[in-house]
């Protein structure tokens, strides 16, 4: 394994896996997600928070690794996985691939998160130690049942990571750019009605969802909560919607590389030629 510093992050190279680049912002966001556990600085909660931070980074990596390994299975060459505050990207190379193959690669990421989320929640439910114990009420403690006990740090973290992975899977399947759901919907519409309509409908859905996400974000802040991750982003969806309405625009997708969560757009003039 080789670790080098590059572009405000660390690049990790492991034998048979694609290179992994982790931006410094990702651990910061993972720490911010656990802020509710920091109240009072209780040791048990801080231990759980530390496990969750590592688990969040590992979950995002597993999502992108799902894209990369599916691409490899289909004969493509995964070359880089990027992890940052906005999520991640899996980049691969190949001569060409079909829409069916692209859909399989795209769905692999959310599928991995669903598996991880289900495994964490199942482990929490099946292996959580029984907090109940023989209890004899007395004059000083006259209640019938013992007071509730907090989950051990590991199981608290499993519960958090289970729901975080489920949320990651569901949000990534929203029909918006640059999410996996936007890529899937774009592929389906493009196959039937062409890229122009695909850009329009995904851009329209994405713009609406981005406005809703920002509204929820600000409501969460005003209510005293903290919403860190609120995709989809407004800019790429509004740009896609705007370009889809221009008759003199074309959509360019590189034939030699792919990204699990990114679609490239380029507006060109009529005088320009492909090739």
Average pLDDT over residues 99-125: 96
Strand pairing category for 77-84 and 257-259: unpaired
The percentage of the chain sitting over the pLDDT mark of 70, rounded to a whole number, equals 79
Q: Which two tokens stand for residue 147?
A: 């007071």
The mean of the pLDDT values for the chain is 83
Helices (H) and strands (E) in the chain, counts: 7, 6
What are the tens digits of pLDDT across the range 45-74?
A: 999 999 999 999 999 999 999 999 999 999
- Whole-angstrom distance, CA of residue 81 vs CA of residue 17: 10
Q: What is the CA radius of gyration of the chain?
A: 23
pLDDT digits (tens, 9 = 90+) for 187-212: 999 999 999 999 999 999 999 999 99
pLDDT greater than 50 at residue 41: yes
Give the pair of three-digit tokens for residue 142: 């006259």
Other CB atoms within 10 Å distance of the CB of residue 84: 17
Report residue 144's pLDDT band, with 50, 70 and 90 as the boundaries.
low
Cβ burial 242-268 (10 Å sphere, 16+ → b, else e): bbbeeeebbbeeeeeebbbbebebeee
pLDDT of residue 156 exceeding 60:
yes
Average pLDDT of the segment spanning 226-243:
82
The DSSP H or E segment spanning 195 is: helix 195-222
Q: Quote the pLDDT of residue 264.
A: 35
Helix (H, G, I), strand (E, B) or coil at 138: coil
Closest CA to 127 of 163, 164, 157, 168: 157
Per-residue confidence band for 263, with pLDDT thresholds at 50, 70 and 90: very low
């Amino acid at each position: 394994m080789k670790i080098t510093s590059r572009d405000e992050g660390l690049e990790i190279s492991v034998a048979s896996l694609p290179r992994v680049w982790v931006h410094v912002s990702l651990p910061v966001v993972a720490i911010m997600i656990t802020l509710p556990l920091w109240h009072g600085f209780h040791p048990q909660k801080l231990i759980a928070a530390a496990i969750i931070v590592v688990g969040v980074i590992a979950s995002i990596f597993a999502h992108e690794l799902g894209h990369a390994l599916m691409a490899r299975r289909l004969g493509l060459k995964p070359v880089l996985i990027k992890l940052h505050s906005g999520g991640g990207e899996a980049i691969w190379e190949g001569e060409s691939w079909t829409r069916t193959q692209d859909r399989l690669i795209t769905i692999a990421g959310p599928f991995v998160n669903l598996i991880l989320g289900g495994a964490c929640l199942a482990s929490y439910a099946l292996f959580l130690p029984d907090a109940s114990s023989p209890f004899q009420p007395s004059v000083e403690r006259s209640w019938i049942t013992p007071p509730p006990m907090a989950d051990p740090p590991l199981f608290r973290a499993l519960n958090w990571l289970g729901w975080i992975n489920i949320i990651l899977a569901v949000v990534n399947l929203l029909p918006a750019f640059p999410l996996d759901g936007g890529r899937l919907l774009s592929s389906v519409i493009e196959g039937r009605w062409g890229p122009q309509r695909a850009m329009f409908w995904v851009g329209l859905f994405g713009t609406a969802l981005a406005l809703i996400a920002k509204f929820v974000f600000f409501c969460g802040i005003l209510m005293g909560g903290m919403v860190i991750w609120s995709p989809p982003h407004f800019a790429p969806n509004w740009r896609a919607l705007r370009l889809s309405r221009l008759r003199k625009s074309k959509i360019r997708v590189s034939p030699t590389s792919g990204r699990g969560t990114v679609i490239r757009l380029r507006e060109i003039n009529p005088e320009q030629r492909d090739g």
